[in-house]
Structure 1
Amino acid sequence: MDQKADDILRRPLYVYDLPDQVLNSLSLKRDAAVEAPDTTKEPTKSAAQPQAQDATSGTSSPIVGSQSCSLCALSFATVQDQRSHLKSDLHHYNLKQKLRGRNPVSEAEFEKLIADLDESLSGSDSPDSDDDDEDSGDKESNLLTTLLKKQATLSGGNYNGAATNDQGDDEEGNSRKKQKGGGAQPLLWFSSPLLPHNTYFGIYRAIFALEESKDENNIVDTIKKKQLEPIPVPKAGPDGSFPPSVYKGPHIFLCMIGGGHFAAMVVSLAPRQTKHGSVGPLNREATVLAHKTFHRYTTRRKQGGSQSANDNAKGNAHSAGSSIRRYNEQALTDEVRLLLQDWKGLLDTAELLFIRATGSTNRRTLFGPYEGQVLRANDPRIRGFPFSTRRATQNELMRSFIELTRLKVREIDPAQVSKEEEPSTKAPSKPAKPSAPKLTEEEETALLHTSQLQAFIRRSKLPALLSYLKNNDISANFLFQPADSSQNYHAPTPLHLAANQNSAPLVLGLLVKGDADPTIKNGEGKTAFELAGDRATRDAFRVARDELGETKWDWEAARVPPAMKKEEADKREERERKEDERKEAERRRAEEQRLKSEGPKVPDGSKGRGKSLLDGGAKKSAQEKREEEVRGLTPEQRMKLDRERRARAAEERLRRMQAGGGG
């Protein structure tokens, strides 16, 4: 391979703007040696990524390196991608598999396991998502919890079978499955003299029309016809819109909805002109014609599934939370359908529609039927994403667009493929179950202690925690197991976890009564003090330093500031509480004065929603009233108000039950 070809392969190759040297050298590879490997088993390398491993080595040897996951046999182009993977359901699921002595699963196998669950994948952070009340990345998502419960309940179920894309309407689901290419391999492979031996270019089959992907004899000519001339970088107007000529160019629509999250984007396919030549619209260089994200609280926390799915299975619940979730489901449906109507012109002219809608409720939101619907389930342009996707965010849509439109490079070893295919030619025999590695008694005991201690800490049970440590003769510096899990890597000891949970009483108790060592560092080189997220928790370390004395620990190595008397910490906390109460009283007085002079504010809703509140005199929802009540309150005041609400609700239920029994 000459130097010029090597330079071309070093940068990302955009399918719609390929260099002539690459375009004129493509030749479709038809033999089974290339089609045999599962292209979704691990991330396929792009032309800009180093070829670090054999594509068929997904099960033969673990992937190691600074940007890899040996457990899931995956490698990553950036550290950010690796961190996102460590928070994903796939990684957490494989950790569970390892603890049970089972083999990890690939991305494709995991996708099949969760294909029929009504939740969205987790692990993608976005400022557009309202995730304050959701589980953190260190915890399993509702989808993973639901999957594990299903596997625990249903023994012997076929979890590896591919699930249909729709529920209820089999005929419609089968027709759409045929449109999306059925069971064909997701990537088309092409050989080129520019590539090293046994290395091939890959292009996703989904970016072609159904007739184009079937006509493999002319597939290279089809790729040549899809090449687009680079356009100057369009300048957006004051309102963020582009000139009309930009909207008339070729573009595609991408949409994801699930778990109360919705994200949609229309992206122009035309590459941009740059000073150093066109390199394709990758990441920030893509021209996004329109984008929008919504999030509504619709999923049942810690239980999994949408409220409508629970209502259909068990009947309507009558709790305040269920009413809020039903309201939010309808509000999300209205917002999504209104957005699709606003984008109707762009959607009607889009070349392809990539849609991920998890669950029958989300599919009804998009495909109806409803009056004036924009998307039709039988539209031949509709495609699914042929790879794993995470939570519906704008960043995830952009990542998916880049994955779809970037040329892949994979190295295939025919000898290795033939060796793997050889057992399948022999007479079928019952596969032997892999023997699960048996844990030693010490390992089982360590796992048990870990689960018990972490449960006490999360529930802030200091007496129970200290009693458990004493009764089982366990040091307060006990290291949680398994040590290589992401959570235990970040918080390896009870003191680290208590500080990370912002539990000041636990921190003080572990230091003073449990003799915990504050100088121990986690895998990131941080002490427990550096994980504390609020002043009260940090003050607990300073109070402990005062009570234990300067000679007990190397407080400088523990990064703990100078000692503080407990009375001083209490006075400061009381002073801050009074200051918060004073500010809240002033805010309430100012709000009362404003209401007297101006009257209540009416939100400016889109499409006349604000006007309807004035005309119809609609009252605020229960959720809006609760939000107004807690606005400006401290966390302690919010917890107190929440306890009072629950107590009143319990008293009301008890009163109704007594009244019903007496009648």
Structure 2
Amino acid sequence: MDKKSEDLLRRPLYVYDLPDQVLSTLTLKRGATSDTQSTIKETTKSAAQADAQSEAQDGPTSGAPTVVGSQSCSLCTLSFATVEDQRSHLKSDLHHYNLKQKLRGQNPVSEPEFEKLIANLDESLSGSDSPDSDEEEDEDDKESNILTTLLKKQAVLADKANGNNTGDNEEDGEDGNRRKKQRGGGAQPMLYFSSPLLPQNSYFGVYRAIFGLEESKNEGNIVEVIKKKQLEPTPAPKPRADGAPSQTNYKGPHIFLCMIGGGHFAAMVVSLAPRQTKQGSVGPLNREATVLAHKTFHRYTTRRKQGGSQSANDNAKGNAHSAGSSIRRYNEQALTDEVRLLLQDWKGLLDTSELLFIRATGSTNRRTLFGPYEGQVLRANDPRIRSFPFSTRRATQNELMRSFIELTRLKVREIDPSQEAKTQDEPSAKASPKPAKPAAPKLTEEEETTLLHTSQLQAFIRRSKLPALLTYLKNNDVSADFLFQPADSQQNYHAPTPLHLAANQNSAPLVLGLLTKGGADPTLANNEGKTPFDLAGDRATRDAFRVARSELGETRWDWDAARIPAALTKDEAEKRDERERKEAERKEAERRKAEELRLQSEGPKVPDGVGKGRGKSLLEGGVAKSAQEKRLEEARGLTPEQRVRLDRERRARAAEERLRRMQQGG
């Protein structure tokens, strides 16, 4: 490859404004199947890397082009511009679902197919953007509730398919395949082109989604289609700060991009024509894209740490009556109204858009966009609608711009021919059905119910939800001495009952509530022979057992067998704590007084001739101490707990002094 070609490929290549040298040498690569996808080793330069290389080109010297390593998922047949994008995909529900498909011996699905599978589920998969997201879930909740619901639903459908509904299922399958072909869901997301400008075994890649249905059907003329899509640079319109359409009746080619999920909405209309800069340069970079309109909305609609939208929870369990649920319910309706009003304002731009890239997972979000409602702008059956053929993050303007650049950037990838030939020479091996794996034993209804009770009760105990725990026990007729399942797991072996787990969690309120209100038996021992009292790790939890013994009486349980000491009333426990607190304060005051006396007698002396304290100790007035020195002296020798208590007392005295001065001033 000559120097001129290297310089050409070093800069980002925009699909709608390709150099003649590239455009005239493109040739469609045949046989770019999923096997070829798995052999990809190199991917396009990310936007940041391309910018850096473009800037380096303007320097005094130009080095060799940097080779960028590939980031792709061979399982899901997706590629990524950065390592962060790849890591985000590995945590997504799509990747987790395909992993389960592989374990079952079934074929993975594409992102559009996955969205269709969960289209009727009232959840949102797009609520996270980065590790500092305010919707971050615990480590145990990484797998989305949506994925669990989908897998359960498929299991039910599979059971029905084994019955008398075979004909209906086949008909549904044909309809699904027909719809998939209409949207191009079964095709690979990229088309590859060879060119003599590229190194050996390297190819240009273009996303199939940027072509219309008729254009993508005839791949033989796809090069001619790309040539017809080339656009002349146009001057950029003056942007508006409020994000309103800068050209309501814009006639040039443009596309609409939209993302909604988790209470976040972002939309953008971008012109496809490259922008003509003052210097005469053109390109697809962020700062050179012509944004005709953009808008974002963010509303609090998801139930923190619990998953799912408020409407999904209402549909499943009925309307909640908490303050938070009312706020979320109001925000959901407000977000719907704002989005629909915005779409109506942008109707002129949307009606003339070449393509509509939309990410709206879940029936609630899809209803927001596609209605039906009076005056709706978007239609679900619009042939221009496309899904994003790569993983996306939270709906923001920056994410939309990143997606636009990813869609319209010409990729450069390297394909290993030896691996490709190997996969093509062995089609029968790949086509042959995998050996059936032994099916896991099917759980009975009773076993499933027991596992459900276990997960619910343990969740209430870990979150110290005593009222919810007692209500669940009562409504489901579950004993307070319920044995967690499976019994052989490490956690349930150590803490087999709710009372054991509450004591092990050092949750005194739960212990007292389970004993006095739930009727839990404190004499039950775990497999290690330990009673719940033996697992208590602090005095407050142990006192809860003693208080329960006092309130329930000596005849209620064999308290000695439960290894619980003598009964203790709440008043006695509180008086004891108060007495110990005062005793600790008295000892601390004595210690401070003794320390002050010692410092007065043994402390450093003020040198002669300094101040009025000639020959006196510092504590006797030789040199006035600052407030900081006094605080440090008071805290010297104290334990961390004593220092916290001392600091609390200082703040209380300061507050009392301020209040006294205010009263005197008034």
Aligned to 2:9: 9
| One-letter amino acid of the structure 1 residue matched with residue 383 of structure 2 | P
Aligned to 1:119: 124
CA distance in 2, matches of 1:348, 1:108: 28
Instruction: Give unmatched runs, 5+ long, in structure 2.
Output: 50-65, 160-171, 439-488, 495-500, 511-529, 538-630
Aligned to 1:569: 647
* Structural mapping, 1:496-507, within 5 Å: none
Matched, 1:218 2:224: no
Cα deviation digits, residues 187-214 of structure 1 (max 9, x gap):
1111111112222111111111111111
Aligned to 1:24: 24
SS at match of 1:255: strand
* Partner residue of 1:428 out of 426, 429, 432: 432
Matched, 1:255 2:258: yes
Aligned to 1:231: 234
CA distance in 2, matches of 1:274, 1:415: 45
CA distance in 2, matches of 1:81, 1:182: 22
CA distance in 1, matches of 2:437, 2:656: 65
Q: How many residues align?
A: 460
SS at match of 2:381: coil
| Residues 275 and 86 (structure 1), Cα distance of their counterparts in 2 relative to 1, 3 Å cut | farther
The answer to whether the Cα contact below 8 Å between 1:90 and 1:110 also exists between their aligned partners in 2 is: no
Aligned to 1:328: 331
CA distance in 1, matches of 2:36, 2:297: 34
CA RMSD of aligned residues (A): 5.5
The answer to whether the Cα contact below 8 Å between 1:13 and 1:47 also exists between their aligned partners in 2 is: no
The answer to whether the Cα contact below 8 Å between 2:42 and 2:70 also exists between their aligned partners in 1 is: no
SS at match of 2:144: helix
* Partner residue of 1:389 out of 369, 392, 397: 392
* Partner residue of 1:35 out of 24, 33, 36: 33
SS at match of 1:119: coil
| Residues 212 and 406 (structure 1), Cα distance of their counterparts in 2 relative to 1, 3 Å cut | same
The answer to whether the Cα contact below 8 Å between 1:56 and 1:417 also exists between their aligned partners in 2 is: no
Matched, 1:338 2:356: no
Matched, 1:407 2:410: yes
Aligned to 2:462: none
Aligned to 1:535: none
360-369 vs 43-52, which deviates more? 43-52
Cα deviation digits, residues 412-437 of structure 1 (max 9, x gap):
22321232355541483533769xxx
Cα deviation digits, residues 459-500 of structure 1 (max 9, x gap):
896999xx99xx99x9xxxxxxxxxxxxxxxxxxxxxxxxxx
* Structural mapping, 1:194-209, within 5 Å: 194-209=197-212
The answer to whether the Cα contact below 8 Å between 1:191 and 1:200 also exists between their aligned partners in 2 is: yes
The answer to whether the Cα contact below 8 Å between 1:263 and 1:292 also exists between their aligned partners in 2 is: yes
SS at match of 1:218: helix
| One-letter amino acid of the structure 1 residue matched with residue 639 of structure 2 | E
SS at match of 1:247: coil
Cα deviation digits, residues 512-532 of structure 1 (max 9, x gap):
xxxxxxxxxxxxxxxxxxxxx
**How far apart are residue 140 of structure 1 and its match?**
4.2
| One-letter amino acid of the structure 1 residue matched with residue 136 of structure 2 | D
**How far apart are residue 264 of structure 1 and its match?**
0.9
The answer to whether the Cα contact below 8 Å between 1:176 and 1:377 also exists between their aligned partners in 2 is: no
The answer to whether the Cα contact below 8 Å between 2:202 and 2:415 also exists between their aligned partners in 1 is: yes
| One-letter amino acid of the structure 1 residue matched with residue 365 of structure 2 | N
**How far apart are residue 185 of structure 1 and its match?**
1.8
| One-letter amino acid of the structure 1 residue matched with residue 647 of structure 2 | A
Q: Rg bigger for which structure?
A: 2
**How far apart are residue 334 of structure 1 and its match?**
0.9
306-315 vs 170-179, which deviates more? 170-179
* Structural mapping, 1:76-475, within 5 Å: 81=85, 108=110, 112=114, 115-116=117-118, 117=121, 118-125=123-130, 132=134, 134-135=135-136, 140=141, 144-148=144-148, 151=151, 177-236=180-239, 244=247, 247-274=250-277, 278=281, 280-426=283-429, 428-431=432-435
* Structural mapping, 1:470-549, within 5 Å: 547=639
| One-letter amino acid of the structure 2 residue matched with residue 547 of structure 1 | T
| Residues 113 and 208 (structure 1), Cα distance of their counterparts in 2 relative to 1, 3 Å cut | closer
CA distance in 2, matches of 1:411, 1:447: 52
Cα deviation digits, residues 242-298 of structure 1 (max 9, x gap):
864993332111011122221111112121234776452223332222111222333
**How far apart are residue 353 of structure 1 and its match?**
0.8
CA distance in 2, matches of 1:244, 1:202: 32
Tell me the TM-score normalised to structure 1 length: 0.56
Cα deviation digits, residues 370-397 of structure 1 (max 9, x gap):
2111112222221111222222222221
**How far apart are residue 405 of structure 1 and its match?**
0.7
Cα deviation digits, residues 224-246 of structure 1 (max 9, x gap):
11111223444435766686499
Instruction: Give unmatched runs, 5+ long, in structure 1.
Output: 60-71, 160-168, 435-443, 450-454, 475-538, 549-562, 586-663
SS at match of 2:367: helix
188-197 vs 281-290, which deviates more? 281-290
| One-letter amino acid of the structure 2 residue matched with residue 397 of structure 1 | L
**How far apart are residue 368 of structure 1 and its match?**
1.6
**How far apart are residue 336 of structure 1 and its match?**
0.8
| Residues 39 and 79 (structure 1), Cα distance of their counterparts in 2 relative to 1, 3 Å cut | closer
| One-letter amino acid of the structure 1 residue matched with residue 369 of structure 2 | L
